[in-house]
Amino acid sequence: MSIAVGESLPEGTFLEMGPDGPAEVTVSDLTGGRKVVIFGVPGAYTGVCSTRHVPSFMRVADELRAKDVADIVCVSVNDPFVLGAWAEATGGAGAGLRFLGDATSAFTKAIGLDFTAPARGLVDRSKRYAMLVEDGVVKVLNVEASPGECELSAGETLLAQV
């Protein structure tokens, strides 16, 4: 069962590429007392993730910030080195998006938004989703029926709900 609107996010630890290498970011530090957008993708450098999902949040980043969103965070089951390079390659880093790695899929599994598609090389990956979180509580949650879709979880859709 996946997390639902009104529920608190479980504690967890992500890895983010920083100037001195990978750094830990806890869910409580990320969301405590703040309004944050978190969007999950099946994998860095994958088609829809790179061409549609990340760009959708880049397009609406300023408008989300104008609505008091403190951080716009992309979570993927990848290591922080890959996510750091992908953040630069997509332009997401320059747009102020944060890219956090859930390398072991622990957070993704804890919120019940994991899937496995071995024929596509995707094992213990994240479903495609977007959520608005306020002080650790999920206020809006949009989950795609298929990892190849990006409409419910697009930046523009979430912007209209904030």
Catalytic entry in 37, 49, 72, 158: 49
**Global pTM?**
0.95
- Model pLDDT, residue 159: 98
With tokens 């630069």, the residue in question is 88
Residues facing 74 on adjacent strands: 39, 99
Kindly list the domain boundaries of the chain, sorted by start residue.
Answer: 13-161
Per-residue model confidence as pLDDT tens digits over 89-112: 999 999 999 999 999 999 999 999
Of the candidates 138, 135, 117, 134, the residue with the CA atom closest to the CA atom of residue 126 = 117
Q: Clarify whether 74 is annotated catalytic.
A: no
Helix (H) or strand (E) segment spanning residue 111 = none
Q: Are the C-beta atoms of residues 99 and 86 closer than 8 Å to each other?
A: yes
pLDDT of residue 3: 98
Which CATH architecture is the domain 13-161 placed in? 3-Layer(aba) Sandwich (3.40)
Spans of the chain, pLDDT less than 70: 123
Please give the structure tokens belonging to residue 117: 């598609």
Exposure string of 55-82, with b = 16+ CB inside 10 Å and e = fewer, is bbbbebbeebeeeebebbbbbbbbbbeb
